[in-house]
Amino acid sequence: MKPEDDIEQSIRSLRRTTTAETDERILNDASAVLGEFVQPVVWRMIIKSPITRFIAAAVIIMAVLIGFGIFTGPGEERGGQVVKQPDTSGVKEVIETAEKPEPGSGVRPDAELEQTEQMFAAGDADGLVSMLSEGGRKTRFAAAIYLARIGDLRAAEALEKLSAEAGEDEMNELFVMAASQIRGRLEQERRGAEFAKGSPADRAGAAAPDKAEIEAEAKQIQEMFAAGDVEGLIEILSVGEFAGKVAAAEYLGEIGDERALGELERLNKEYGGWAAREAQHDSSGAFAWAICKILNSGSAEDEQIAAWFDLLEGSGPAVPEGIKERAARYNFDVGRRVAVELDKYDNPSIVSRLRQTENKGAASGAVWMEVREMDTDPAIAYCVEIARTEDGAQRYGAILCLGRLGDDAIDALDELAGEGHGEAIRVLSRYKGNPEVLKLICWHLTDNKNSLVRSMAVEQFYDGELYNQPEVVPALIEAMYDPNKYIRRNAARALSMAAYRRKTPHLEELEEAMLTALKHADKEVREYAAKALEHLGSERIGDEAAEPPAFRSDLEEQSVPPLTVQQKLAAEVGPLEKEAARLLKMGPAEEAVGKYEELLELAPGHQAYIEALEKAQAYEAAAAETMEKWEPDAPYIGVKGRYSYLIGREPEDVNGLGEEFDLALFLVESEGYEKALKLYEHIVEHYPENEYKVIRAAAAIGGLELSLYEDVSACVLRYIDIFAVGTEEVIDSTDERRNRPLAQEGGRTQAQLDFERFCKNDEMRERTIELCSAEASGELYVLLDEIIERCSQTDPKIVGMAEAAKAEIEQRQETEAEGENAIGGRE
Amino acid sequence: MLEDKLLVLKLKRGDADALRRIYEKYKDDLLTITASLLHEAGAAEDVLHNVFVSFAKDISRFQLLGNLRSHLITRVVNQVREKFRRKMYQVVEVDRTGLSGSNSEGADRAAAVGEESQLLTDALARLPIQQREVIILYLQGGMKFREIANIQDVSINTVWSRYRYGLDELRSFLIGEIIE
């Protein structure tokens, strides 16, 4: 290697690779322990029964599948509907890996499970529904997961019914999740189908009969209420459309007639919407609300308030048996209704209690109660502050509340979206008829760094009304190259709908983009592009198209929700606090002062920081006061201050060397070994290597490393460094007089004499050889070669000792080998 | 890094293929770093073995907060330190012929990594372990000085000094080799 070669580059390019045997050995051993340790400790502790383990595995895998968007995106075309290719991955794995239930637990043979799998593969939702009620537990579990993927409304209802019947059974949560998944998917399909229906007039026509029916029923219910016809309203609870059931429940709650309770409880179990945690077109909390209202109609005010808060906390008689408190606590519609109800009481504690809730529905009401009396600007500012400083439901509630403050809140919502609050886009979309707001949403779709915001933005374009707006199609085309697959696929999907509707002024641009997208790296986008070209009736399929651009690298692929001010502070403060504490302990004090000042800027008035700052300042002041007059009997603060000062020093000359050396010695004597080691290392790293004190420091480091860390090799290497220095090279930079040749000593200097007296002496030689030779395993004796090689010019005496020791060891090894051979021969 | 998150998730569910994928993805980087730290191929493979076995063992409690590669490198460093601490490993002598350990092993290694690389790895082995760690983690591990400072529990300035001094020493070792 030539000296001018780039060492850094050479080190970077050094490569090693394993052999196939090594790979096999490591993977086998690692896989073997994997099986033993794969289940989390907490899991093992909490989930004791085999059945519970089985169900919990199902719930977790369901959450994982949902989280990965397995249910979105196109698969194969069937009957005009886009459906997923049957894929049993994940489900099958969990079914197989989940512990088998105990005998007698009602589980059918594995053949039943296979049959379920075949039904899923064949898309037989009806068969799976029947398995839900007829199969064993394991089969029901599998059927629920499969139905979540392909089930229809009937399956969702069956799952919800089973969930209500399951009561405390662990399968309850699984059924709720599966039903919720189906309903979500159906809603998406419904929106998609609306796109495909054609003109708004067509859609209105298609929806007309249902709407008329519902309106007639609503009118009938109103009349019943006006006439006090409780029995009629109760009958509606049984036979009415869902909207009618809700309306009847609301009227019955107002009337407060206990005869309605039975039917309301049934509906509350079946349609309670207990899995809905966020705002949707959901009014299923009406039944729980009506029950609570009826049961408390004659109670005192404080009892009524307590009952509403109980419901909000997921307890009390209005929460059906079998619904877990946790699920109940997050029910959006219940929370919304409870907040409205509590708003009727003149009790100042209500708002503050609601402002603590984790229920998003109630939180938005709570924030509204706080701001509704304010002028618009301060109200907006207050909501923005909550969104930035608070977390979870309250943040969500504040953003929703901005939507109630009118057009004036648009800028604030835009700003919050810019900061990564996806919910702000959902609220902004209420104004998307406004071209300026539409432009903002398009901007967030293509340029917001946060993937959560962009994904919320792309969802706003499922509404076919917008495709004729000039900004929309170009933005969606750009979004097809988003780094996040959910966004690019949904953008492609929306474009395929736009192509179907032919409602864009950019048809040529769309056709061109879709031709290019046929070469897209994402298979699902390619499928949507093909569909779009088909919808456009394009005759250019097969034409040469431009190469698609690369995915955007300037946008985040997977973002997290923005941190609150407190979280940001914690993230910033954590490392800074650690560094400041380290500097306070190990110096330099002046840097510790700086760090604590920074911390106090972030957290003004923080008592612990103030105290630490005062301590660091005291060290710094003590360091200044004791400058040039440090003495071993100085008060501790002076020693510490001086230490801090010296350790932080970047020496330009050797002026500080003597003091550093003396202080290190003092620290050793005071048993401050770690600080002494640090100071000695500072000396060795910063001063000339032939300097007498540096050599002494190296010897001290060796001794400290041996005693503190039992690091024999490090110690010996330090000692070898000393013997590798020629006596004639040694100088004392701190005292020129010690470098003058002494006639009576043959021209040697005092520094050189001291070096031989205190460092390169027989005791040190023997100690070094002893350390090399006496290692129990004999492994360190190779350091004898290091001595022989490095010290041949500077210390022939130790070289001779090393050679003798080496010869002795080799002789011993030979003798031992011969002995073993002799034993082997006899055997 | 999403792929790593998915792999870890699968691994937590006991997926041996995920383990294989993680191993295939990082084994060469980790082996290179380990071999440079230890300067001995057999011991480096032992460390690699221990790292993956302990990683698989701890997987149920493991949370991927940052970068999987850095996490595995940190495990390597800890294992290497443990080896030194327990004196299971010797500081291997580097002789001027460029070979170390047994003749056959040295010859094999020289043939495998080439003469220039051999000189460089030998020179690296002569550095104090702390300097060696900094240089290897920075250049081969691709870690930032701040990350290395956290691993070594020293300030970033110290890491930088170790890096600079280490390179200077390497340079002088290599020049020495060439002159001879």
Which segment of A142-146, A273-277, A727-731, B142-146 scores lowest on mean pLDDT? Answer: A273-277
Interchain CB contact of A35 with B (< 8 Å): yes
**What does the pLDDT read at residue A56?**
42
Three-state DSSP at A81 gives strand
The answer to whether residue A61 scores a pLDDT higher than 60 is no
Q: Are B159 and B145 in contact (CB under 8 A)?
A: yes
How far apart (Å, rounded) are the C-alpha atoms in residues A765 and B56? Answer: 47
Q: Do B59 and A34 touch (CB under 8 A)?
A: yes
Q: Cβ contacts (< 8 Å) between A17 and chain B: which residues? A: 27-28, 31
Interchain CB contact of B164 with A (< 8 Å): no
Among B8, B37, B52, most A C-beta atoms within 10 A, so best to mutate, is: B52
Interchain CB contact of A89 with B (< 8 Å): no
Q: Do B16 and A17 touch (CB under 8 A)?
A: no
Decide which of A169 and A577 is more confident.
A577
Q: Do A30 and B23 touch (CB under 8 A)?
A: yes
Q: Do B16 and A557 touch (CB under 8 A)?
A: no
Spell out the residues 6+ positions from residue A337 whose beta carbon is closer than 8 angstroms to its own.
Answer: A285, A286, A289, A361
Q: Cβ contacts (< 8 Å) between B87 and chain A: which residues? A: 710, 712-713, 775, 777, 779
The answer to whether residue A67 scores a pLDDT higher than 60 is no
Q: Do B31 and A709 touch (CB under 8 A)?
A: no
Among B117, B121, B135, B143, most A C-beta atoms within 10 A, so best to mutate, is: B117
pLDDT tens per residue, range A345-365: 988 889 999 998 888 889 989
Q: Cβ contacts (< 8 Å) between B20 and chain A: which residues? A: 27
Q: How far does the CA of residue A46 sit from the closest CA of chain B (Å)? A: 14
**What does the pLDDT read at residue A139?**
75
Q: Give how far Cα B95 sits from Cα of A16, A48, B125, Å.
A: 21, 61, 11
Average pLDDT value for chain A: 77
Mean pLDDT of A610-629: 76
**Residue B115: HSE in the Cβ half-sphere, 13 Å Cα cutoff:** 6
The answer to whether residue A165 scores a pLDDT higher than 70 is no
Share of chain A above pLDDT 70, in %: 76
Which segment of A41-45, A561-565, A651-655, B75-79 scores lowest on mean pLDDT? Answer: A41-45
The answer to whether residue A107 scores a pLDDT higher than 60 is no
Nearest of A461, A443, A450 to residue A422 by alpha carbon: A450
Q: Which residue of B has its CA nearest to A21?
A: B45
Interface ipTM above 0.85: no
Interchain CB contact of A18 with B (< 8 Å): yes
E strands, A363-518, where?
none
Q: How far does the CA of residue A33 sit from the closest CA of chain B (Å)? A: 6
Q: Which residue of A has its CA nearest to B114?
A: A14
Tell me the range of A140-144, A148-152, A510-514, A657-661 where mean pLDDT is highest.
A510-514
Q: Which residue of B has its CA nearest to A64?
A: B9
**What does the pLDDT read at residue A200?**
38
Q: Which of A25, A714, A779 sits opposite B90 (nearest CB)?
A: A779
Q: Do A29 and B53 touch (CB under 8 A)?
A: yes
Q: Which residue of B has its CA nearest to A8?
A: B139
Q: Cβ contacts (< 8 Å) between B56 and chain A: which residues? A: 30-31, 33-34, 37
Interchain CB contact of A33 with B (< 8 Å): yes
Contacts 24+ apart (CB under 8 A), A802-808: A802/A769, A802/A772, A805/A769, A805/A772, A805/A773, A805/A781, A806/A781, A808/A773
Q: Which of A7, A36, A41 sits opposite B170 (nearest CB)?
A: A7
**What does the pLDDT read at residue A3?**
44
Angle A87-A89-A93 from CA coordinates, rounded to 5°: 145
Local confidence band at A446 (pLDDT 50, 70, 90 cut-offs): very high
The answer to whether residue A106 scores a pLDDT higher than 70 is no
A 547-566: CB under 8 A from B: 557-558
**What does the pLDDT read at residue A42?**
28
A 212-241: CB under 8 A from B: none
Decide which of B17 and A157 is more confident.
B17
Q: Which residue of A has its CA nearest to B12?
A: A38
Interchain CB contact of A325 with B (< 8 Å): no
Q: Do A7 and B171 touch (CB under 8 A)?
A: yes
Q: How many Å separate Cα A800 from the centre of its chain?
A: 62
Angle A28-A31-A37 from CA coordinates, rounded to 5°: 145
Positive or negative: CA dihedral A213, A215, A218, A224 = negative
Among A4, A11, A22, A773, most B C-beta atoms within 10 A, so best to mutate, is: A11
Interchain CB contact of B111 with A (< 8 Å): no
- Two structure tokens written together for A672: 């401050």
Q: Cβ contacts (< 8 Å) between B31 and chain A: which residues? A: 16-18
Which segment of A33-42, A96-105, A253-262, A549-558 scores lowest on mean pLDDT? Answer: A96-105
**What does the pLDDT read at residue B124?**
86
Q: How far does the CA of residue A718 sit from the closest CA of chain B (Å)? A: 10
Q: Cβ contacts (< 8 Å) between B155 and chain A: which residues? A: 582
Which segment of A297-306, A670-679, A741-750, B69-78 scores lowest on mean pLDDT? Answer: A670-679
Contacts 24+ apart (CB under 8 A), A119-125: A119/A143, A119/A146, A120/A86, A120/A88, A120/A146, A120/A149, A120/A150, A121/A86, A121/A88, A122/A86, A123/A78, A123/A83, A123/A86, A123/A150, A125/A150, A125/A151, A125/A152, A125/A154, A125/A155
Q: How far does the CA of residue B66 sit from the closest CA of chain A (Å)? A: 14
**What does the pLDDT read at residue A350?**
92
Interchain CB contact of B77 with A (< 8 Å): no
Q: Cβ contacts (< 8 Å) between B108 and chain A: which residues? A: none
Among B57, B143, B153, most A C-beta atoms within 10 A, so best to mutate, is: B57
Q: Do A685 and B161 touch (CB under 8 A)?
A: yes
**What does the pLDDT read at residue B6?**
65
Three-state DSSP at A82 gives strand
Q: Cβ contacts (< 8 Å) between A64 and chain B: which residues? A: 9
A 482-541: CB under 8 A from B: none
Q: Which residue has the tokens 């809905």?
A: A276
Which segment of A118-127, A259-268, A488-497, A693-702 scores lowest on mean pLDDT? Answer: A118-127
**What does the pLDDT read at residue B101?**
32
Local confidence band at A68 (pLDDT 50, 70, 90 cut-offs): very low
Interchain CB contact of B8 with A (< 8 Å): no
Local confidence band at A14 (pLDDT 50, 70, 90 cut-offs): confident
Q: How far does the CA of residue A463 sit from the closest CA of chain B (Å)? A: 31
Interchain CB contact of A576 with B (< 8 Å): no
Mean pLDDT of A419-439: 89
Interchain CB contact of A30 with B (< 8 Å): yes
Among A2, A16, A45, most B C-beta atoms within 10 A, so best to mutate, is: A16
Interchain CB contact of A20 with B (< 8 Å): no
Interchain CB contact of B41 with A (< 8 Å): yes
**What does the pLDDT read at residue A778?**
56
Local confidence band at A188 (pLDDT 50, 70, 90 cut-offs): low
Nearest of A130, A136, A88, A129 to residue A109 by alpha carbon: A136
pLDDT tens across the length of chain B (180 residues): 456 766 777 787 777 888 898 999 999 999 999 988 887 777 888 889 999 998 988 887 777 766 888 889 999 998 888 777 654 444 333 332 232 333 334 444 444 446 667 788 888 888 888 889 999 998 988 888 888 888 888 887 788 888 888 888 888 887 765 444
- Which amino acid would we find at residue A660? E
Q: Alpha helix locations (H) across A86-229?
A: 91-97, 110-121, 125-134, 137-150, 153-166, 171-196, 200-227
Q: Which residue of A has its CA nearest to B132?
A: A11
Which segment of A199-203, A240-244, A693-697 scores lowest on mean pLDDT? Answer: A199-203
**Beta bridge partner(s), residue A731:** A691
Interchain CB contact of B107 with A (< 8 Å): no
The answer to whether residue A700 scores a pLDDT higher than 80 is yes
**Beta bridge partner(s), residue A83:** A76
Nearest of A465, A459, A455, A409 to residue A433 by alpha carbon: A465
Supply the pTM of this predicted model: 0.44
Local confidence band at A795 (pLDDT 50, 70, 90 cut-offs): very high
Nearest of A460, A522, A518, A511 to residue A489 by alpha carbon: A522
